[in-house]
A and B are shown apart, each in its own frame.
Chain A
């Protein structure tokens, strides 16, 4: 036995390192590993450089920020952080039911042959650049939904959400949220589709064999199985909605008001939109302050995405058993 293993051992022995082909092997694997490590370094650099460039604003004397920047950091960024989360939550409230409906339509309702083209149609929505959605939202959507907002305000104004004086332009946080909803729709849809397709066929057929209608089968077999995957899909959609910039920048006439009224012209802006609107004109400490705001946004989205990925990876470990 020892004689047969000897040549294999010599393969890794120092003498064969002189072989030019093995030398190429070491370089290539080194390059591959270096690229992988490079990605970790880039992500670390994103956080580090934002901290370095945002730091002067984060740790500056509040008086200096008031005179040279946009004002004391925490109170300046708070309404924008609120606006970011509020717009994203509103968007998800609209997008989630619709996306799950579309995913169910494509996986369980549409004719088999139509499923792939219909899925592609929804994916096209993801291909439209955000700036085009911004233009569409500002030029077409905002003016045309105003009538509806007036009606909501007159008839359902007793609900605090619809209270206040209706914006004259329609550029409210609700309009921005509608555009955001359209933009996160394809993401949530494609992830939910994948999850729905993983439902064990036997579970579905068992439900149908017991006499369940199609909807009862979905309620009993598909949705319970898909729940963790759906949560992850929604979280990833949330991450996208939080970081989306141009749609909000172009559609929303944002201010610094923390309010839950979604039809008025006093809307909280989002962090991303604030940066985009002010960055080109900013200088000195103002630039630092905007970068620090970006750091806040980065932290929020990082937390949301990490939780989502954690749910996905946890699911991957046990889904094989089913």
Chain B
């Protein structure tokens, strides 16, 4: 009672409330003040201005709410400001990365970039054709390996496992597998290939194996979730017609969930297509086009970006421009895959029968 009565005038039934215009007004004032201070001491640094404005706003809201509304409302407003602030803060890197990639990547985002490799290129010119085809080969092969294993495991977990100990162990280790660091997956692929064919400088298929280790758990998780969404009535109807279980699964259960499964696979591809570290270790570097997954190093787009940045030639800027163009291409591919994945999921959503 004490806290409430403090903020209430005698004879008044409700506690005071700040008028609705106060918070926007304080925000605008704080922004102006922050900008002014930043101009005076920091030479107009925008980051400094924003940080100062935010602190001034927090203090102003706290003080005015405490005077008019009392301590509890002030705490509520403080929490609101900080939570909204956290969200805005997270948008900054997203906006900054997108802007940087667009503005710096545009310089070399041209026809040459998509039609030339880096073979015999030391200065200007050159492109990422070898890296783009390499990425398609390696990721395509990884998808070919991961989808059958991942999908069949999901089928086992949702249709056959019935919570037995093997299913429980698989579920647990699939979760553990999602946490395998990407570079460890690359080292694994390298170690595997070294044991089979001896020391090597990397080749495309090893990269595919590394990516599969990262991709399989994603495919299992999303497919299992989708298969479990298929209504049991469909299975029972099929059994009642005398259809064997495996045909029920392949002709009824999977087709019902296929859109979700496809979208899950696309999102899984989007996740691994940007992986750099495992390919750096397992697939190696090259400046030339290589369409053979099983011999000689194969360049991939993420490794191309890293290589252009980390090992530039004499004219550093030329290499940096190529790195940013590669980064822009990579972002475009990943965003496109994400978009397609979500569209497929929404457009062809499973028909649940009602």
Which A residues are closer than 8 A to B by beta carbons?
A: 21-22, 24-25, 27-29, 31-40, 42-43, 45-46, 49-50, 52-54, 97-102, 104-106, 109, 118, 121-122, 124-125, 127-136, 138-140, 144, 147-148, 182, 185, 189, 213-216, 218, 236, 239-240, 242-246, 249-250, 272, 275-276, 279-280, 283, 287, 290-291, 294, 297-298, 301-302, 304-306, 308-309, 312-313
A124 and B100 contacting across the interface, CB-CB below 8 Å? no
Contact A118 B87 (CB under 8 A): yes
The 4 closest A-B pairs by CB, nearest first: A243-B181, A129-B274, A101-B86, A28-B246
Question: Are B195 and A131 within 8 A (Cβ)?
Answer: no
Inter-chain contacts of A218 with B (CB < 8 A)? 79
Do A46 and B93 touch (CB < 8 A)?
no
Contact call B160/A245, Cβ cutoff below 8 A: no
Task: Answer yes or no: B281 CB below 8 A from chain A CBs.
Answer: yes
Contact of B169 among A40, A236, A239 (CB under 8 A): A40
Q: Is the CB of A245 within 8 A of B180?
A: no
Contact yes or no, B191 A49, CB < 8 A: yes
Given A49-B188, A134-B306, is A243 in contact with B182 using a C-beta cutoff of 8 Å?
A: yes
- Rounded to whole angstroms, the CA-CA distance of A214 and B84 in the bound complex is 14
Structural contact, B310 and A250, CB atoms closer than 8 A: yes
Q: Is the CB of A128 within 8 A of B331?
A: yes
> Which residue on A lies nearest to B284, using beta carbons?
A280
Q: Given that A35-B153, A101-B83 are contacting pairs, would A135 and B195 also be in contact in the complex, using a CB cutoff of 8 Å?
A: no
Contacts of B170 in A (CB 8 A): 36-37, 39-40
A46 in contact with B180 (CB, 8 Å): yes
- Interface majority SS on A: helix, strand, loop or mixed? helix
Complex Cα gap A170–B275 (Å): 25
Are A215 and B79 in contact (CB-based, < 8 A)? yes
Interface pair A105/B87, CB less than 8 Å apart: yes
Complex: A312 Cα to B24 Cα, angstroms: 41
Instruction: Check if B80 sits within 8 Å of A129, measured CB to CB.
Output: no
CA distance A242 to B182 in the complex (A): 11
A185 to B183 Cα, complex, angstroms: 20
Task: State in angstroms the CA–CA spacing of A215 and B245 once bound together.
Answer: 52
The answer to whether B309 and A250 have CB atoms under 8 Å apart is yes
Instruction: Report chain A residues within 8 Å CB of B121.
Output: none
Say yes or no for B313: interface residue by CB 8 A criterion: no
Cβ contact within 8 Å between B180 and A39: no
Q: How many A-B residue pairs have CB under 8 A?
A: 283
Bound state CA distance, A255 and B173, in angstroms? 35
Q: Which single member of B150, B172, B244, B250 contacts A21 (CB below 8 Å)? A: B244
Beyond contacts A245-B182, A280-B280, A298-B181: 16 other A-B pairs, Cβ-Cβ < 8 A, are A28-B249, A32-B153, A32-B156, A46-B213, A53-B194, A54-B191, A101-B82, A128-B97, A129-B275, A129-B327, A130-B276, A213-B73, A246-B277, A275-B281, A290-B187, A305-B175
Shortest Cβ distance from A275 into chain B, in angstroms? 6
* Interface set, chain B 200-255, CB cutoff 8 A to A: 213, 216-217, 220, 244-247, 249-250
Q: Which bucket holds chain B's interface residue count?
A: 35 or more
Q: In the complex, which residues 284-336 of chain B have their Cβ closer than 8 Å to any Cβ of chain A?
A: 284-285, 302, 305-306, 309-310, 320, 323-324, 327, 330-331, 334-335
User: CB within 8 Å of A: which of B61-111?
Assistant: 72-73, 75-76, 78-80, 82-87, 89-91, 93-94, 96-97, 100-101, 104
> Which residue of chain A has the shortest Cβ distance to B171 in the bound complex?
A313
Interface contact B276-A131, CB-CB below 8 Å: yes
Chain A residues closer than 8 Å to B150, beta-carbon distance:
35
Contact (A125, B93) CB under 8 Å given A109-B84, A280-B280 = yes
Cα distance A29–B285 when bound, in Å? 42
A273 to chain B, nearest CB (A): 9
B270 at interface, CB cutoff 8 A: yes
Cβ of B154 to closest chain A Cβ, rounded Å:
9
Question: Mind listing 17 A-B residue pairs with CB under 8 Å?
Answer: A24-B244, A24-B246, A29-B246, A39-B173, A46-B188, A49-B188, A53-B191, A101-B82, A128-B94, A131-B306, A136-B97, A139-B104, A215-B79, A215-B80, A294-B187, A298-B181, A309-B175
Indicate if the CB atoms of B166 and A213 lie closer than 8 Å: no
Bound Cα distance A31, B159 (Å)? 13
The interface residues of chain A lying within 8 Å CB-to-CB of B175 are 305, 309, 312
Task: Report how far A214 CA is from B75 CA in the complex, Å.
Answer: 10
Q: Distance (Å) between the CB of B118 and the closest chain A CB?
A: 16
Q: Are B183 and A297 in contact (CB under 8 A)?
A: yes
A109 and chain B: residue at smallest CB distance: B83
In the bound complex, residues from chain B placing their C-beta under 8 Å from that of A216 are 72, 75-76
Q: How far is the CB of B261 from chain A (nearest CB, A)?
A: 15
Contacting pair B277 A132 (CB below 8 A): no
Q: With A32-B153, A33-B156, A35-B148 in contact, do A291 and B187 touch (Cβ < 8 Å)?
A: yes
B45, B160, B181: the one contacting A32 at CB < 8 Å is B160
| A-side contacts of B79, CB under 8 Å | 214-215, 218
* Contact among A25, A29, A52, A132 with B101 in the assembled complex (CB-CB below 8 Å): A132
Q: Contact between A214 and B80 (Cβ–Cβ < 8 Å)?
A: yes
CB of B38 within 8 Å of the partner chain: no
- How long is the Cα–Cα vector from A216 to B74 in the complex, in angstroms? 11
Neighbouring A residues of B58 by C-beta, 8 Å:
none
Check: B149 CB closer than 8 A to any chain A CB: yes
B19: Cβ under 8 A from any A Cβ: no
Q: Is the CB of B166 within 8 A of A130?
A: no
- The one of A22, A245, A279 that contacts B181, using a Cβ cutoff of 8 Å: A245
Q: Is the CB of A50 within 8 A of B191?
A: yes
Residue of B nearest to A182 (CB): B93
A-side contacts of B335, CB under 8 Å:
124, 127
Task: Say yes or no: A132 contacts B330, CB within 8 Å.
Answer: yes
How far is A189 from B90 in the complex, measured between Cα atoms in Å? 10
Residues of chain A with a CB closer than 8 A to B156's CB: 29, 32-33, 35-36
At the interface, yes or no: B184 with Cβ under 8 Å from chain A?
yes
Question: Is B50 positioned at the interface, with any CB of A under 8 Å from its CB?
Answer: no
A196–B328 CA distance with the chains assembled, in angstroms: 35
- Whether the pair B187, A243 counts as a contact (CB closer than 8 A) is no
Q: Is the CB of A240 within 8 A of B247?
A: no
Query: Once the chains bind, are A135 and B183 in contact (CB under 8 Å)?
Result: no
